[in-house]
Amino acid sequence: MREMRRLGLEIRAGLHTGECEILGDKLSGIAVHTGARVASLAGAGEVLVSGTVKDLVAGSGIRSRIRIGL
């Protein structure tokens, strides 16, 4: 992320997991929409995850900070 900032790029991402529907070359379903919503809340340089992802990685050793108010 630091390198991206140095280049003037602002990267943001949102992660969610769930079932998706594949219709031709398109993905749809609640999980896709939830992932997009989580991504829309991320600020520059942030990777946000849904509560589902947070619960699934609990105990994995992945470090994170909790962002209140989402």
Task: Please name every residue paired with 27 in a beta bridge, in sequence order, or none if there are none.
Answer: 22
Confidence of residue 70 (pLDDT cuts 50, 70, 90): low
Q: What gap in Å lies between CA 64 and CA 68, rounded to an integer? A: 13
What total of structural domains would you count in the chain? 1
Cross-strand bridge partners of residue 48: 14
Higher pLDDT, 68 or 11: 11
Q: Which amino acid is at 57?
A: V
- 31 occurs within a structural domain: yes
pLDDT of residue 27: 93
Radius of gyration of the CA atoms of the chain, in A: 14
pLDDT higher than threshold 90 for residue 6: no
In a domain, 8, yes or no: yes
Would you say residue 28 lies in a domain? yes
* 11-64 per-position pLDDT tens digit: 899 999 999 999 999 999 999 999 999 999 999 888 999 999 999 998 898 887
Helix (H, G, I), strand (E, B) or coil at 51: helix
Residues of the domain holding 6: 2-57
In a domain, 51, yes or no: yes
Residue 62 belongs to a domain? no
